[in-house]
Amino acid sequence: MKVTNIHEAKTHLSKLIEQAERGEEVVIARAGKPVVRLVQYKEPAKSVRQPGAWKGKVKILPGFYEADKEIEKMFYGEDD
Burial 27-47 (b: 16+ CB within 10 A, else e): ebeeeeeeeeebeeeeeeeee
What is the total count of domains within the chain?
Answer: 1
Q: What is the mean pLDDT of residues 7-27?
A: 95
Tell me what the pLDDT averaged over the chain comes to: 91
Task: Flag the least confident range among 5-9, 36-40, 47-51.
Answer: 47-51
More confident: 67 or 14: 14
Q: Residue 66 falls within a domain, yes or no?
A: no
Q: Residue 12 falls within a domain, yes or no?
A: yes
pLDDT score for 79: 59
User: Domain containing 28: what range?
Assistant: 2-38
Q: Residue 34 falls within a domain, yes or no?
A: yes
Among the residues of 1-80, which ranges form H helices? Answer: 6-11, 13-21, 69-76
Q: Residue 78 falls within a domain, yes or no?
A: no
- Checking if the pLDDT of 48 tops 90, the result is no
Q: Residue 46 falls within a domain, yes or no?
A: no
Q: Residue 8 falls within a domain, yes or no?
A: yes
> Model confidence over 18-32: pLDDT tens digits?
999 999 999 999 999
* Residue 79 CB partners (closer than 8 Å, separation 6+): 72, 73
Q: Residue 65 falls within a domain, yes or no?
A: no
